[in-house]
Structure 1
Amino acid sequence: MNKENRLMEEAIEVAKQLHNEHIVIDSLSPSIIDEWVLTPAMVEIAKSIQADGGTRPMIKAAMAEYLLTHCCTDAELRAAYIAFWQRSGVTGCNHTLYASGPPDAAWESTMTEIGRLSQLLGALQGEVSLATTAEQVQAAHAAKQRVVFYNLQNAEPVGDNFGRVNTLYGMGVRSMQLTYNLRTRFGEGCLETNDGGISRLGQALVQKMNEVGMLVDLSHGSTQTARDILSCSSQPVIASHIPARAISGHARGLPDDVLRAIADGGGYAGVLTVPAFVLPPEGDPRAQALGRPAGWATLDTFVDHIQHFVNVMGADHVGIGTDWGKPYYSALTWDSTMVGGRKGFDWVGWREQDHFDPNGQTEGFVTWDQWINLTAAMLRRGISKETVIKLIGGNFLRVFRQVCG
């Protein structure tokens, strides 16, 4: 065993101890229904759909149907699901109920997803529960159980009916973005051609979310949208899953002045692991040295972003929101026509210059159950245990407690 591998293995052992003793939270995880565990039967379903010309949304829908149908009756599948989560060492995951799609269907899509989550949580027989308060997270960790938080990555389900904010809160939603890449009635997304910031309706929505105790999430919003939200929010805000724009130059990232403002307001930013968003323009030479394709990143790339965030924001305001590690990505080969899958207008909005490619991977974090490797990579780079404990969950929980209760 070479020195590098030995150091990583030693770091993994320390990471396991930290995960066992402390609360670990992924502030934006892959979908715990259709981007989680992948059994051999599910792989065959996905491959069959793809061979017939199927797209990512079709594959995700089929995998979700299989999981929800069989998790109630198949003890082996249920055990595999729990084991996938246990290997990660993560206490809580922030699950997205709605991200993108035609605005007129947004509310119905959100209600459908809440129904699917209720079905899954019931099938898991108490191993995973919905968390709406910090105390519930602490209780689950003490009992060696897991929790899920609900978020919306787009405010279109609210529409012009702010009463729905109360309804969503009552159903467990504790964070929401105003936009997902594209312009909404509330504000500008990060991939739009012009940056007009938030609308007056968006400002009113931020105030409503402050009032009920729901976290405002800046992820996928434009730079001016982020600045406007920071100016009008009376509560700390989060950016649950972003890269540092100073490193990657990617539109999905936020510049340093916005990161500082988030911290100054007592908020939180989670670093993601999506290769296309964290890679610097010249790529990752460490991945290239391993013989990986140009679209691959390494755990060191991820830690570069973590360290930048800590330098800019301080160690009390940074965490991890992976948004990656989806097993079906690595089980299949993709081309650009398979990603969107919707006829007509593309509501997701990725452009050629955004380099989004499911074939790209982060070495050491190919599937989400390898989450503990993220902690080990930070330790191996010399980040102290005290700081790592904050980064893997303590900081998010602090803001969650302050805003949501």
Structure 2
Amino acid sequence: MVKPKVKDYDGYKSFQYLEANKDYKDYKLAKEIGRVEPFVYPVSEEEEEQVQQILQEDLIISLHEHTFVTPENVDEIMEFRRQGRDWTGYEGLSVSGLDVIFENYMDGTAFITSNAGWKWNDVIHDLGIRYSDFAHQDMVIKAESIEDIYRAKRENKIAFVTSLESATQIENEIDRVDVLYGLGVRVMGIAYSEANSLGSGLREKNDSGLTVFGHKVVERMNKLGMTIDVSHCGDQTTRDVIEASSKPIFMTHVGARALWNISRLKPDDCLIACAEKGGVIGIEAAPHTTLTEQHKDHSIESVMEHFEYTANLVGIDHVAFGLDTLFGDHVGLHHAFVEALSIGSSHAGVSFDEVPYVKGVENPSEAYLNVVRWLVKHGYSREDIRKVMGGNIMRVLKETWVK
């Protein structure tokens, strides 16, 4: 029997080098493992052997995650965010099976100086605090190159690729893209919910597409070696970015609007255009996003229906997973941030039954393990599993990064 894949983790907890309630306000945090009833996707012993072999030998990559830990009482989230200090779920990640995580921090809700998020000083603060914590542990590697990713796998560690979901914080200062690159940012979205100086976000009713400044930013990101993300862009801005970019792009965490008609998901033409330029589409699993008519209760089954639809539409070489999970009450978090995250507007006109959590992909400690189990159970070949769990992403990084 192949032993379950576990990272070398020494028990470190975020900021344990500081003194609670002296250097920072202490909050009771959500459990990283077992907050809800754990779910193991049902497979046979032989299939589980295959799963564990895949985890041992192949790169397992999340294209989009938020690995922070929420307060156990989600009603405390606003004051918690105002403090500007986020805990990383190292314990949960150590058993996740993940080798590489595109970590997106919490900058859309960086509320240190403003309730609107995406302020330059807040983003820099957020990155610096998290990096300071990383420096005091030895399981996570801050990855800025292809070699850093491979090194993490060799050393049984986890590579964190610093990613930002929007470029709103650069305002009209194009050289701030270079500054963010210098600070380790390797993937960045063009716009989040609201329009910015580059283009339109998904909540805008009138999407006029990529601006002149947006074109300049796309060109600068191509030159720098920073991969572009359009997950939260409006449809026309998405199309314009794909056309304008000289290199492949990511849709790090989306689904197929053809299966569930909300603006948070992408129409077929955008998915196809992304793939035709060599890009990769990460399938999303944040609560109440990747639902389907067949699976209206959000679970791993509805997520994987979006995966199969997208893979059939654009080809297996252009699909991956960016499940967009975290440690804590994700649904409660959405309620708290309903305006900042534009959840209500993206679901306008579509009714669904709310679930307390997404069964099978509730948090990073179980989500990717269950996806691999699902793929094995449903007869996907080792080659195709290797592609969607990491190989496709690595191909794009080799085409977009400096080295």
Letter in 2 for 1:33: F
Contact 1:24 1:91 in 2 (8 A): yes
Question: Does 1:159 pair with 2:171?
Answer: yes
Residue 397 of structure 1 corresponds to which residue in structure 2? 394
Letter in 1 for 2:167: A
What is the CA RMSD across the aligned residues, in angstroms?
2.7
Question: Does 1:368 pair with 2:364?
Answer: yes
Residue 339 of structure 1 corresponds to which residue in structure 2? 337
Letter in 1 for 2:369: I
Residue 235 of structure 1 corresponds to which residue in structure 2? 247
Contact 2:253 2:323 in 1 (8 A): yes
SS at match of 1:20: helix
Residue 308 of structure 1 corresponds to which residue in structure 2? 309
Query: Counterparts of 1:364 and 1:6 in 2: how far apart (Å)?
Result: 10
Question: Does 1:208 pair with 2:217?
Answer: no
Quote the offset at 1:352 in angstroms. 5.6
Alignment of 1:126-141 (within 5 A): 126-141=138-153
Question: Does 1:328 pair with 2:364?
Answer: no
Question: Does 1:348 pair with 2:331?
Answer: no
Distance 1:82 1:350, change over 3 A: closer
Quote the offset at 1:57 in angstroms. 3.4
- Uncovered stretches (5+) of structure 2, i.e. residues with no partner: 1-39
Distance 1:185 1:62, change over 3 A: closer
| Residue number among 73, 86, 94 corresponding to 2:102 in the alignment | 94
Structure-1-length-normalised TM-score: 0.80
Residue 55 of structure 2 corresponds to which residue in structure 1? 19
Quote the offset at 1:356 in angstroms. 9.8
Query: Counterparts of 2:51 and 2:41 in 1: how far apart (Å)?
Result: 15
Quote the offset at 1:186 in angstroms. 0.9
SS at match of 1:277: coil
Letter in 2 for 1:257: D
Structure-2-length-normalised TM-score: 0.80
Contact 1:238 1:269 in 2 (8 A): yes
Query: Counterparts of 1:83 and 1:9 in 2: how far apart (Å)?
Result: 26
Residue 56 of structure 1 corresponds to which residue in structure 2? 77
Distance 1:357 1:239, change over 3 A: farther
Quote the offset at 1:10 in angstroms. 4.6
CA displacement 1:290-330 (0-9 Å, x = unmatched): xxxx6x32222111111112111211111000112x33217
Query: Counterparts of 1:11 and 1:239 in 2: how far apart (Å)?
Result: 30
Worse-superposed segment, 91-100 or 312-321: 91-100
Quote the offset at 1:64 in angstroms. 4.4
Distance 1:318 1:105, change over 3 A: closer
Quote the offset at 1:7 in angstroms. 3.1
Contact 2:317 2:392 in 1 (8 A): yes
Question: How many positions carry a matched residue from both structures?
Answer: 354
Q: Percent identity?
A: 24
Query: Counterparts of 1:7 and 1:90 in 2: how far apart (Å)?
Result: 20
Query: Counterparts of 2:189 and 2:318 in 1: how far apart (Å)?
Result: 19
Question: Does 1:114 pair with 2:123?
Answer: no
SS at match of 1:392: helix
Distance 1:193 1:55, change over 3 A: farther
Query: Counterparts of 2:334 and 2:95 in 1: how far apart (Å)?
Result: 32
Residue 197 of structure 1 corresponds to which residue in structure 2? 209
- Uncovered stretches (5+) of structure 1, i.e. residues with no partner: 36-41, 69-80, 285-293, 341-345
Distance 1:360 1:10, change over 3 A: farther
Alignment of 1:9-88 (within 5 A): 10-30=46-66, 32-34=67-69, 46-47=72-73, 50=74, 54-59=75-80, 64=85, 67=87, 81-88=89-96
Contact 2:84 2:125 in 1 (8 A): no
Letter in 2 for 1:218: V
CA displacement 1:220-249 (0-9 Å, x = unmatched): 111111110111111111100001111112
Letter in 2 for 1:308: Y
Distance 1:159 1:6, change over 3 A: closer
Give every structure 1 segment of 4 or more consecutive aligned residues whose post-TM-superposition deviation is greater than 4 Å.
59-65, 100-105, 355-359
Letter in 1 for 2:162: Y
| Residue number among 164, 171, 177 corresponding to 2:189 in the alignment | 177
Distance 1:199 1:89, change over 3 A: same
Query: Counterparts of 1:213 and 1:131 in 2: how far apart (Å)?
Result: 14
Contact 1:26 1:93 in 2 (8 A): yes
